[in-house]
Amino acid sequence: EPEVTQTPSHQVTQMGQEVILRCVPISNHLYFYWYRQILGQKVEFLVSFYNNEISEKSEIFDDQFSVERPDGSNFTLKIRSTKLEDSAMYFCASSQQGADNQPQHFGDGTRLSIL
């Protein structure tokens, strides 16, 4: 069964540095998402992306964050000037069609640790 793959599985970064989290969505999917899960808490929506532009974003997704689909397969989340509170699991997801009524398939996440 096709999977969403994320790299790296664990990223350790010094506070203030920039980090790029990478995702390869399922190949025939057109909608892409990033979520965050702080340890022991619920999964929180960050951003959705379709047709090379952001379609929806949460209040968490401020100017520190950006997303990009640099080629036909990768979908990246960039976090600038990382802060301690950015430490979390970051999940990428994709779906064939838009969020309503279409299941989203999640990757296994990148654990981001900010020191």
Partner 1 sequence: GENVEQHPSTLSVQEGDSAVIKCTYSDSASNYFPWYKQELGKGPQLIIDIRSNVGEKKDQRIAVTLNKTAKHFSLHITETQPEDSAVYFCAALDDKIIFGKGTRLHILP
Q: Least distance (Å) from partner 1 to the CB of residue 92?
A: 8
According to CB under 8 A, which one of 107, 112, 113, 114 is a site residue for partner 1?
A: 107
Question: Between 42 and 53, whose beta carbon lies closer to partner 1?
Answer: 42
Of 14-22, 65-73, 75-83, 94-102, which segment contacts partner 1 by CB under 8 A?
94-102
| Stretch (H or E) spanning 7 | strand 5-7
CB 107, CB 42: distance < 8 Å = no
Q: CA dihedral in degrees (35, 41, 42, 46; nearest 10)?
A: -30
Question: Between 60 and 69, whose beta carbon lies closer to partner 1?
Answer: 60
According to CB under 8 A, which one of 62, 63, 71, 100 is a site residue for partner 1?
A: 100
> Three-state SS string across 97-112, please?
CCCCCCCCEECCCEEE
Residue 60 is a binding residue for partner 1 (CB under 8 A): no
Question: Between 75 and 91, whose beta carbon lies closer to partner 1?
Answer: 91
Q: What are phi and psi of 89, to 5 degrees?
A: -90, 135
